[in-house]
């Protein structure tokens, strides 16, 4: 995906500040795919059959990587609202942060997303043409985050993910964090960041505020503005479950959730 100008994956806070995540949460990636899929299925995105929850139920993993400059920047935004007690229109201001991208950077920044599905569950939920529906949905994604976070999908590829059990996995995609993993950047200058997101595996309905959270790790190479590499091993010297897949012309590995 190519972002148009700015993105917003806002964190939930109890005040007027609206900070932004610097990578999209798994729930945001699922939401981006669910909107066109709901149209293909002919059902409202937020109806009785809540499409993000349908997707979460057939997914085995969600991953992403960001390549290109992405700069958080906040502006003071004026907001108008109606006070029913005073019967007056009032205004307030809050700090609204977005993630700004540089469109002309080496052809433009890109976000690559990987969705790994359970084929048996997908066929049960979406029918025999589930692959066609998901490819069509991925091709027609238009936003990643809020309504102003517009993206263009440049390429969609699909295939079979191979399950492997390895001593070490090297990946440029997000890694689901748990206590059994040892994770370090491939190069020492790469910035390793831990993000705490809502756990997409527990998604049941539109209210996500009560969901438990989970953590993911991402490495960012600030020298070259590219996704950095992560070396992942099992803390107990055991094998690590991973998926081998082809993303475009590249062979990649991701760590299983």
Helix (H, G, I), strand (E, B) or coil at 241: strand
Residue written as token pair 């700015």: 6
**Residue 114: CB partners within 8 Å, gap ≥ 6?**
61, 62, 63, 64, 173, 245, 247, 252, 254
Q: What share of the chain is helix, strand, coil (3-state, %, to 5)?
A: 20, 45, 40
CA distance 183 to 201: 22
Residues 140-180: tens digit of each pLDDT: 999 988 777 889 999 999 999 999 999 999 999 999 998 88
Distances, alpha carbon 215 to alpha carbons 12, 16, 122, 175, 198, in Å: 16, 25, 26, 9, 8
Q: Is 37 left (phi over 0), alpha (psi -120 to 50) or beta?
A: alpha
Comparing CA positions, the residue from 228, 251, 255 lying closest to residue 239 is 255
Residues 50-81: tens digit of each pLDDT: 899 999 999 999 999 998 887 777 777 777 88
Q: Token pair of 71, please? A: 């700069």
pTM over 0.85: yes
């Amino acid at each position: 995906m190519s972002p148009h100008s700015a993105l917003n994956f806002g964190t939930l806070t109890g005040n007027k500040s609206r900070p932004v995540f610097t990578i999209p949460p798994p729930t945001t990636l699922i939401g981006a795919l669910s909107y066109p899929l709901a149209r293909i299925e002919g059902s409202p995105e937020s109806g009785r059959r809540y499409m993000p929850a349908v997707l979460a139920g057939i997914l085995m993993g969600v991953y992403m990587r960001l390549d290109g400059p992405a700069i958080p920047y906040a502006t003071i935004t004026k907001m108008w609202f109606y006070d029913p007690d005073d019967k007056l229109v009032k205004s307030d201001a809050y700090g609204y942060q977005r993630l700004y991208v540089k469109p002309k950077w080496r052809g433009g920044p890109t976000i690559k997303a990987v969705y790994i599905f359970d084929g048996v569950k997908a066929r049960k939920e979406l029918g025999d043409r589930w692959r066609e529906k998901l490819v069509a949905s991925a091709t027609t994604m238009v936003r990643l985050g809020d309504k102003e976070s517009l993206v263009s999908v440049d390429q969609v590829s699909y295939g079979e993910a191979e399950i492997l059990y390895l001593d070490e996995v090297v990946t440029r995609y997000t890694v689901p964090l748990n206590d059994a993993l040892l994770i370090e950047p491939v190069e020492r200058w790469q910035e390793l960041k831990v993000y705490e997101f809502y756990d997409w595996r527990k998604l049941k309905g539109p209210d996500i505020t009560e969901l438990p959270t989970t953590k993911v790790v991402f490495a960012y190479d600030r020298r070259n503005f590219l996704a950095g590499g992560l070396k992942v091993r099992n803390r107990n010297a055991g094998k690590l479950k991973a998926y081998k897949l082809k993303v475009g012309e590249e062979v990649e590995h991701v760590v299983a959730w």
